[in-house]
């Protein structure tokens, strides 16, 4: 392993910038959702999109928790290459994309759900690039070998490998569960938006698919 570099600090800064960037972008899309509705109103298609979105949120919460069992507290200490991290170098972000879709889908609009995913993909793309640069500098050849055999997002199920024992750090697992449950807030928030629009409290300026 190479000696730790000052870029450790920069990595933490990038994580903070990522959170602010994705938060501001998603806030902008939420503001859009306040004044839009779907083409068919609260019809079957609207309800179907919401149902699919709820499934995506559940998958995201469970998947992110699964990833945290392997990566929690280890990212800066070793190259984690088993479990979900044998299929993809960034499975936690992949499951976050599912969560972003699920949150946007609670509007009943495929367009807004796609915007949520696009924002997540763009912001995480730059985050992943910075993290990979730091991990390469930190772990050298070990991480370059891992990059060579494992797709950035994937997943490639033919690469699956696991370990017989896993040391779990409950604090990281519970924190990931807590963060994932925040996605569920999209349900009452957007149901409230639908109710406010139906009551005439919020004007509908645009209809989206």
Class of domain 15-208: mainly alpha
pLDDT score of 12: 65
CB 37 within 8 A of CB 207: yes
Would you say residue 21 has pLDDT above 50?
yes
| Average model confidence (pLDDT) across the chain | 87
**Domains of the chain: which residue ranges?**
15-208
End-to-end CA distance of the chain: 51
Quote the tokens at residue 73. Answer: 């507290």
Q: Coil, strand or helix: which one is 41?
A: coil
Handedness of CA 105, 90, 171, 160 (dihedral sign): positive
In terms of pLDDT, which residue wins out, 53 or 25?
A: 53
Mean per-residue pLDDT, 94-122: 93
Dihedral angle over CA of 128, 84, 19, 35, nearest 10: 110
CB 88 within 8 A of CB 52: no
Handedness of CA 69, 75, 79, 84 (dihedral sign): positive
pLDDT per position as a tens digit, 167-186: 888 888 898 899 899 899 99
pLDDT score of 10: 58
pLDDT per position as a tens digit, 26-84: 788 888 888 888 877 778 889 999 999 999 999 999 999 999 999 987 888 899 999 99
> Within 13 Å of residue 100, how many CA atoms lie on the same side as its CB?
25
pLDDT per position as a tens digit, 151-172: 999 899 999 999 888 888 888 8
Residues of the chain with pLDDT > 70: what percent? Answer: 90
In terms of pLDDT, which residue wins out, 94 or 19?
A: 94
Q: Which segments of the chain does DSSP mark as H helices, in order?
A: 7-34, 44-71, 84-87, 91-105, 110-139, 141-149, 170-181, 186-198
106 pLDDT tier (thresholds 50, 70, 90)? very high
């Amino acid at each position: 392993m190479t000696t730790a570099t000052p870029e450790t600090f920069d990595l933490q800064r990038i994580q903070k910038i990522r959170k602010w960037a994705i938060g501001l972008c998603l806030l902008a899309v939420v503001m859009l959702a306040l004044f839009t509705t779907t083409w068919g109103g609260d019809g079957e298609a609207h309800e179907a999109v919401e149902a699919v979105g709820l499934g995506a949120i559940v998958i995201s919460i469970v998947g992110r928790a699964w990833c945290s069992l392997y990566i929690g507290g280890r990212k800066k200490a070793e190259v984690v290459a088993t479990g979900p991290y044998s299929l993809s170098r960034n499975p936690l972000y992949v499951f976050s994309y599912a969560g972003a879709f699920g949150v946007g889908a609670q509007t009943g609009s495929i367009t807004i759900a796609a915007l949520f995913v696009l924002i997540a993909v763009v912001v995480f793309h730059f985050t992943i690039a910075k993290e990979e640069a730091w991990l390469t500098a930190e772990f050298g050849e070990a991480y370059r070998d891992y990059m060579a055999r494992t797709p950035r997002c994937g997943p490639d199920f033919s690469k699956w490998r696991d370990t017989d024992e896993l040391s779990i750090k409950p604090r990281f697992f519970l924190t990931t569960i807590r963060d994932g449950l925040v996605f569920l807030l999209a349900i009452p928030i957007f149901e409230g938006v639908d109710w406010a629009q139906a009551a005439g409290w919020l004007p509908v300026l645009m209809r989206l698919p």
